[in-house]
């Protein structure tokens, strides 16, 4: 493996890397950086925690130092926290250049952001929604001269998940020059390869780490099969064991909804675990503050929705617990990738109910690794079962007495308005859809019942026929 100088980086950048403990290029850096420095578009697909960020930050800084102006580079990323993390890497590595960066994400003051954009920063790191809002509402900045467009977690930006970025991306792409370098990175690029190729049009250099598995070897991947009702008792038991055995470990627990995130946080706090949460229903300032406290190990346990599944780089995280089994292998890969980063060891434990076993099978098939059962002394779990379930119920009641559900409804309505939809009309449409769905369900049930009846009838007829045959045989005998 070569060093950074042999890849074409200037001495000042190599020195900056050394100061951060980045001495030798990782494979994704070694392979993608020369192509980027040659001016090619690039798509890099490498495992979580393998240094993809520096693989694009370093060549951009190199090129920027040769011809510094603003706005030189635009980075798009799906989450606000990730935008701050990427901007920080630019800032630290680009310090000798006096790099000016600007972060454009939702939940923060738009006027301040507009002002910063008009100051021609070298690098803009943004989430698509907020940047598109700025483009629609002001003409105080120009991106006509940008040299680099980078899509970090590119597959997420292009897929149509619960947050659909495609419309915002269209708005952004329209104001960018056609002549630019486009760089796309993710640990899971392959599913959206075709769409991605239409963004990086100039025969992009494509590099994918060659490996049979899609998760890192240093990650010990486990599961616990549990009935739904015992899940929380397992969770409390696991955390108790980890915190008893290790002083300096941090744990991220992923769950599927904001409400579940809130309830689990309240519940674990009742058990005196230093817990903090991160989900999209929190105010942005609170989200940043909570993440900062977790990073600084003030709180050892972070309970998060998938808003924290991608990209976050927190070296102290030794354990990832999936409180629910992710419905998509891709989400699993990113979630468990929050530990075992940059060559460190880590453990992931997925709580699996009998209804989720098929999900585990498709995860195993995708990652080409079999999850191993995590050994637990069941007796110990059963000892705390009642106490845990009572505590959870108490937390649920407490949460119901707050305006959490109401806030969620208001947020949904706000989102619809932002998307240019009429909340009343949407509610009607939803109700109609629900009606059609329930009619379909009833229809399906009826069909199934009649199939069942027919089967039973057939069985009866068969039996009768067999009886008759028997009787006839007995009579002839
Ligand atoms: N060449 C290197 N040598 C040692 N450490 C490195 C090197 N390059 C990057 N790192 C460190 O590795 C860690 C993970 O890097 P990074 O966050 O870029 O991973 P990633 O590939 O983007 O992961 P994800 O897919 O989860 O976003 C960071 O803390 C980074 O500073």
The model's pLDDT over 362-409, given as tens digits with 9 standing for 90+, comes to 999 999 999 999 999 999 999 999 999 999 999 999 998 776 666 666
pLDDT at 31: 96
- The DSSP line for 90-115 is HHHHTGGGT--EEEE-TTS-HHHHHH
Question: What distance in Å separates the CA atoms of residue 328 and residue 359, rounded to the nearest whole number?
Answer: 8
Question: What distance in Å separates the CA atoms of residue 261 and residue 305, rounded to the nearest whole number?
Answer: 7
Mean of pLDDT values over 20-49: 95
pLDDT at 420: 65
Per-residue pLDDT for 424 more than 80?
no
Calculate the alpha carbon distances from 281 to 128, 263, 308, 406, 458 in Å.
Answer: 19, 13, 13, 11, 55
Residue nearest to atom 16 of ligand 1 (CA): 51
ipTM of the complex: 0.99
Average pLDDT, the chain: 91
Per-residue pLDDT for 256 more than 70?
yes
Q: Is 171 in the pocket of ligand 1 (CB under 6 A)?
A: no
pLDDT at 414: 65
Q: Is 187 in the pocket of ligand 1 (CB under 6 A)?
A: yes
DSSP state of 164: B
pLDDT tens digits, 446-476: 887 888 888 889 899 999 999 999 998 888 8
Per-residue pLDDT for 64 more than 90?
yes
- Pick the atom of ligand 1 nearest to 50's CA: 21
pLDDT tens digits, 271-281: 999 999 999 98
Mutation probe of ligand 1 site: the residue of 49, 207, 340 with most atoms within 8 A of C-beta: 49
Per-residue pLDDT for 419 more than 70?
no
Omega before residue 71 within 30° of 0, cis: yes
pLDDT at 443: 79
C-beta separation of 44 from 183 below 8 A:
yes
| Tokens 């920080």, located at residue | 88
Per-residue pLDDT for 13 more than 90?
yes
Rg (CA), the chain: 27
pLDDT tens digits, 164-223: 898 999 999 999 999 999 999 999 987 777 777 777 777 889 999 888 888 999 999 999
What confidence category does residue 114 fall into, taking pLDDT thresholds of 50, 70 and 90? very high
Burial class of residue 365, CB neighbours in 10 A (0-12, 13-18, 19+): exposed
Mutation probe of ligand 1 site: the residue of 9, 21, 24, 54 with most atoms within 8 A of C-beta: 54
Which pTM does this prediction carry? 0.84
Domains and CATH numbers, the chain: 4-208 (3.40.50.300), 219-402 (3.40.50.300), 406-434 (no CATH)
Per-residue pLDDT for 304 more than 90?
yes
Q: Is the C-alpha dihedral spanning 53, 56, 58, 61 positive or negative?
A: negative
pLDDT at 408: 65
Instruction: Find the 38 Cα to ligand 1 centroid distance in Å.
Output: 23
Which tokens go with 108?
């923060």
Q: Is 22 in the pocket of ligand 1 (CB under 6 A)?
A: yes
373, β-bridge pairs:
223
C-beta separation of 144 from 177 below 8 A:
yes
* pLDDT, greater one: 341 or 426: 341
Per-residue pLDDT for 418 more than 70?
no
Instruction: Find the 311 Cα to ligand 1 centroid distance in Å.
Output: 9
Instruction: Tell me how many degrees the CA angle 383-387-389 measures, rounded to the nearest 5.
Output: 110
Question: What distance in Å separates the CA atoms of residue 143 and residue 146, rounded to the nearest whole number?
Answer: 6
Mutation probe of ligand 1 site: the residue of 342, 343, 344 with most atoms within 8 A of C-beta: 342
Kindly report which listed range (37-51, 115-129, 452-466) carries the lowest average pLDDT score.
Answer: 452-466
The percent of residues above 90 in pLDDT, for the chain, comes to: 74
Residue nearest to atom 15 of ligand 1 (CA): 51
Per-residue pLDDT for 232 more than 80?
yes
Q: Is 322 in the pocket of ligand 1 (CB under 6 A)?
A: no
Mean of pLDDT values over 121-149: 94
Characterize 232-254 residue by residue with b for buried, 16 or more Cβ atoms within 10 angstroms of its Cβ, and e for exposed.
Answer: bbbbbbbbeebbeeeeebbbbbb
pLDDT tens digits, 139-179: 789 999 999 999 999 999 988 766 789 899 999 999 999 99
Q: Is 45 in the pocket of ligand 1 (CB under 6 A)?
A: no
pLDDT at 42: 94
pLDDT at 38: 95
pLDDT at 52: 97
Mean of pLDDT values over 345-358: 96
Q: Is 31 in the pocket of ligand 1 (CB under 6 A)?
A: no
Question: What distance in Å separates the CA atoms of residue 59 and residue 185, rounded to the nearest whole number?
Answer: 14
Q: Is 50 in the pocket of ligand 1 (CB under 6 A)?
A: yes
């Amino acid at each position: 493996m070569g060093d950074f100088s042999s890849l074409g980086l200037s001495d000042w950048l190599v020195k900056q890397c050394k100061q951060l403990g980045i001495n030798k290029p990782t494979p994704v850096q070694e392979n993608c950086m020369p192509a980027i420095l040659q001016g090619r578009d690039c798509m890099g697909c490498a495992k979580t925690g393998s240094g993809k960020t520096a693989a694009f930050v370093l060549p951009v800084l190199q090129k920027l130092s040769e011809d510094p102006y603003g706005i030189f580079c635009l980075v798009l990323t799906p989450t606000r926290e990730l935008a701050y993390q990427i901007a920080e890497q630019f800032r630290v590595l680009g310090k000798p250049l006096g790099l000016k960066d600007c972060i454009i994400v939702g939940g923060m003051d738009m006027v301040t952001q507009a002002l910063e954009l008009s100051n021609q920063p070298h690098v803009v790191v943004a989430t698509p929604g907020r940047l598109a809002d700025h483009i629609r509402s002001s003409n105080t900045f120009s991106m006509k001269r940008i040299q680099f467009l980078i899509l970090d977690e590119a597959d997420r930006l292009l897929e149509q998940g619960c947050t659909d970025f495609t419309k915002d991306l269209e708005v952004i792409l329209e104001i960018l020059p056609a002549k630019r370098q486009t760089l796309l990175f993710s640990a899971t690029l392959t599913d959206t390869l075709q769409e991605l190729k239409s963004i990086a049009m100039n025969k992009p250099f494509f590099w994918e780490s060659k490996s049979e598995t899609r998760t890192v070897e240093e990650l010990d991947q486990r599961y616990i099969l549990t009935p739904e009702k015992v899940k929380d008792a397992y969770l409390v038991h696991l955390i108790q064991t980890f915190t008893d055995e290790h002083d300096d470990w941090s744990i991220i627990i992923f769950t599927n909804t904001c409400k579940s995130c809130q309830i689990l946080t309240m519940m674990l706090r009742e058990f005196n675990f230093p817990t903090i949460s991160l989900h999209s229903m929190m105010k942005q300032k609170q989200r940043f503050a909570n993440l900062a406290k977790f990073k600084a190990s003030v709180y050892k346990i972070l309970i998060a929705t998938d808003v924290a599944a991608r990209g976050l780089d927190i070296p102290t995280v030794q354990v990832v617990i999936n409180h629910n089994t992710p419905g998509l292998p891709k989400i699993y890969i990113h979630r468990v990738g929050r530990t075992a980063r940059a060559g460190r060891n880590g453990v992931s434990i997925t709580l699996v109910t009998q209804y989720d076993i098929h999900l585990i099978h498709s995860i195993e098939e995708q990652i080409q690794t079999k999850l191993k059962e995590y050994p637990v002394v069941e007796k110990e779990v059963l000892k705390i079962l009642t106490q845990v379930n009572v505590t959870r119920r108490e937390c649920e009641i407490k949460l119901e007495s707050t305006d959490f559900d109401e806030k969620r409804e208001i947020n949904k309505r706000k989102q619809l308005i932002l998307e240019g939809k009429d909340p009343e009309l949407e509610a009607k449409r939803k109700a109609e859809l629900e009606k059609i769905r329930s009619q379909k369900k009833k229809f399906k049930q009826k069909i199934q019942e009649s199939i069942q009846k027919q089967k039973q009838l057939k069985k009866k007829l068969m039996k009768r026929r067999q009886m008759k045959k028997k009787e006839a045989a007995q009579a002839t005998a």
